[in-house]
Chain A
Amino acid sequence: MSANANASIVHARRLSKAYGPVKALDDVSFEIESGRIVGLIGPNGAGKTTALKAILGLTDFEGELSVLGFDPRTQRAELMEQVCFIADVAVLPRWIKVSEAIEFVAGVHPRFSPDKCNAFLAHTKIQPSMRVRELSKGMIVQLHLALVMAIDARLLVLDEPTLGLDILYRKSFYESLLSDYFDENKTIIVTTHQVEEIEHILTDLVFIRDGKIALSATMDEVGERYAEVMVNPDKAADARALKPLNERQIFGKSIFLFDGIERARLAALGELHKPSVADLFVATMKGTYA
C-alpha cells in the first residue's frame, strides 16, 4: 500500500464472482501499484483469468473495482485507451492482414504509433501483406506484441501470453518486453504456468487459489520471508520441529522451505538458499487437486 493514492493502478475491494456453485473469485481484495510487474500465479481454475477479465471489463462481478480510476464494467472503451491486453496466442483474427491490423489499431487508438510498430516488425520475418492465418504461432505473438508495445499504455495485462510457443519465442517475448517497453510509468500484470521463466522479471507476486489470494508480496518481501535450507539427515528432526512449509529429498539430503523463521536459526541447520517461485508455489498449493 502506498501513501500516494494516485500510484494505485488497480484497486479491488471484496471482489466475488461465481460460475454456478464454483466461486472463481471469493471476496478478494488487492492493490496493484504503478511501475510494478506483478505475477499472478495459480493452478488451473484458481480464478486468475476471472480476475484479469474483471480488470479488463470482460465480465460482471460483485464488489468494488477501479482500474486507473475507471469502472471496467461501464467504461471499458475509455479504459482501453490506457490498458493493453494479450490474452493468448490465438486471439488475433485469422483473416486480417498485418497492414490492416496496423491501420485499424492506429485508427482507433490515440496512443498507438505505427512507426514504432513497424520498427518492431522490421526485426521479424513478418511482412505487411501477410494474413494472420499465414503466420506461425510464434509470429502471431510477435505481431501482437509489436502492436501492443507501440501503444503508450499505462497497464499491460498478459494472460498466458506465451502458451504453446517454443523457448526461443518465449525468451525473446519477455526480453523485448523488458528492454523495449517497460518503464516506471508502466505496470504489467502477467499470468503464466511457466513461472521459472518470469520470476527474474517480477517485482510482485500474487498466488491465487480457489478464488482467494494465498500470497501477495513483493519479491523482496518474499526473499526476506521465505528461505530454503538444505539439511543433512542428522538435523532433519530439528528442522521439522520448526514447522516447514514443505520438505523434499535430494541426494540423500532434505530440503526444507520455511516461512518467517530467523535466518540465524536456519543457518545452524544447513546451507541457506533463496527459494524459487516455482518451489514456493508448489509448497503453497499443496493439496489443490486432492
Chain B
Amino acid sequence: MNNIPLLLKREYWEHRGGFLWTPFWMTASILIFTLLGIVSAEVLGSNAHVHVGFSLDELRNNISANDLAQAGNALDMAQLVFGGLACVGLFFVLFFYLLGALYDDRRDRSVLFWKSLPVSDTATVVSKALSAMLVAPVIAFAIATAAYVVFLVLIVLWAGAHGLNAFPAVFAAHPLGMLGRLVLTVPINAMWALPAIGWLLFWSAYVRSKPFLWAVLIPFFALIANWWLGKLGAPHFAGDLNLAAILGRLLFSIAPGSWMGSSGAGILGNHVRMGLDNDHVVSSLDPSHVYSLLAEPNIWIGAVAGVALLVGAIWFRQRRIETAS
C-alpha cells in the first residue's frame, strides 16, 4: 500500500488524455467562444447577445452601470460554468476510465507485466478507485480554475478597451470562496460516486469481453424486468425503493454533483434550469448544505455497496487474467 502515490502517477501517465487534456479542451472551448463573442460583439455592435453560460453584454452593462454586486455575481456564475463544464467532461472520462481500468491491460496482456512486479492486486484496484475519486477531479478543477483566471484577464482587457475599469467587478466576485466550495464538493462527490466506481471496476475486472455491455445492459434489463413484474402485480421495487434511482446511482453517480438532484443529471441540469439564479446554485454548494448529505442514509448505503463491489473487483483481479479476444 505504500506504493499508492506511484500507482496514482502511473494512472495519470496512462490517462493523461482523459484526466488532463479533456478538461483542458472543454474549458478552453469556453475561452475560445468568449473570444469569438468579444470579437463579434465588437464587429456587430453591442447587440450580439453573446451568451457563454451567462451574457457578456449584461456583464458589460453591469460594469458600466457600476452595479458591482451584479457584475460580481455574473463572474461567480462564469466560474461555476467553467467548473461545471469540467465536471461534464469528467463524467465521460471517468465512466470509460473505470470500465477499462481492469480490462484493457488484460486484453493487451500487459497485465502480465504489471503482475510481474511486487504490487498487490488490492493496491492496484485501490489506486484506480482513488484516481477516479480524487486525482481526476482535482486536476479538472485546477484546470477549470486556470481557465477562469484567463477568462478574467480577457474580461478586464475587453472592458479596458472600452475605457471601463473591470477590477472593481473582479473584486466584487468571490473566486477563492467559489473555488473553496468546488474543492469541498470533491470528497462528497467521491463518496457519493462509490457505488458507480465499484460497479464499473467490478465489471472491468470480471468480464472476458465487452465490459460496457455488461455494466449497462444488466441495469437496463433489471429495470425492464422490474417494470414487467409490476405490470403482473408480482412483488417488485416500487415507492421508496425506486429501482431506476438505485440503478442510476450505479451508472451515473460519478457525475460530480449528481447528489444535488434526485436524478442523475445533477449539477449541469440544475445549471440549465436555474440559469442566472446563481444564489440557488451557490447556496446549494454551501458546505453546510453539501455536508448535510452525510446525515442521509442514502450516501452511506451506497458507499457500503461500492466498497463491497470493490472487494469483488479485487477478488477477480487476483484470479482472472485472460480475456476472450
Contacts and interface: CB of A to CB of B under 8 A. Distances in A.
A171 interface: no
Contact of A108 (B6, B14, B105, B109): B6
B116 interface: yes
Contacts of A92: 110, 113
20 contacts: A76-B318, A77-B120, A80-B115, A80-B118, A81-B118, A85-B112, A86-B116, A87-B116, A91-B112, A91-B113, A92-B110, A93-B110, A94-B108, A96-B13, A104-B117, A105-B117, A108-B6, A108-B119, A109-B117, A144-B113
A202 to B, nearest CB: 22
B109 to A, nearest CB: 5
B109 A95 contact: no
A78 B121 CA distance: 12
B231 interface: no
A36 B60 CA distance: 80
A60 B318 CA distance: 10
A94 B112 contact: no
Give the residue among B110, B121, B319 with the most A Cβ atoms within 10 A: B110
Nearest to B321: A58
Interface of B: 3, 6, 9-10, 13-14, 105, 108-121, 123, 318-319, 321
A105 B3 CA distance: 11
A93 B115 contact: no
Interface in A52-81: 56-60, 76-81
Contacts of A105: 117
Nearest to B109: A91
B152 to A, nearest CB: 35
A94 B108 CA distance: 9
Interface of A: 56-60, 76-81, 83-87, 90-97, 100, 103-105, 107-110, 144
Given A93-B14, A93-B105, A95-B14, A108 B117 contact: yes
A86 B111 CA distance: 12
A110 B115 CA distance: 16
Contacts of A76: 115, 120-121, 318
Given A57-B115, A87-B113, A144-B113, 19 more contacts: A58-B115, A76-B120, A77-B118, A77-B119, A77-B121, A80-B116, A80-B117, A80-B119, A81-B118, A84-B116, A85-B116, A87-B116, A91-B111, A91-B112, A93-B114, A97-B13, A108-B3, A108-B118, A110-B118
Contacts of A93: 14, 105, 108, 110, 113-114
Nearest to A94: B108
Q: Which 3 A/B pairs are nearest by Cβ-Cβ distance?
A: A85-B116, A93-B110, A77-B120
B20 to A, nearest CB: 14
B14 A56 contact: no
A99 to B, nearest CB: 10
A107 B113 CA distance: 15
Give the residue among B6, B117, B318, B319 with the most A Cβ atoms within 10 A: B117
Given A60-B319, A94-B110, A104 B115 contact: no
B116 A56 contact: yes
Contacts of A83: 116
B109 A104 contact: no
A83 B110 CA distance: 17
Contacts of B120: 76-77
B118 A109 contact: yes
Nearest to B13: A100
Contacts of B9: 104
Given A77-B118, A81-B118, A100-B13, A107 B6 contact: yes
A79 B120 CA distance: 10
A78 B114 CA distance: 14
A85 B113 CA distance: 8
A75 to B, nearest CB: 10
A92 B123 CA distance: 20
Contacts of A97: 13
A15 B111 CA distance: 24
A100 B115 CA distance: 17
B105 to A, nearest CB: 7
A77 B115 CA distance: 8
A52 B112 CA distance: 12
Nearest to B124: A77
A224 B302 CA distance: 68
B109 A87 contact: yes
Nearest to B119: A108
A97 B119 CA distance: 20
A97 to B, nearest CB: 8
B7 to A, nearest CB: 8
Nearest to B115: A58
Nearest to A104: B10
Give the residue among A57, A76, A81, A105 with the most B Cβ atoms within 10 A: A76
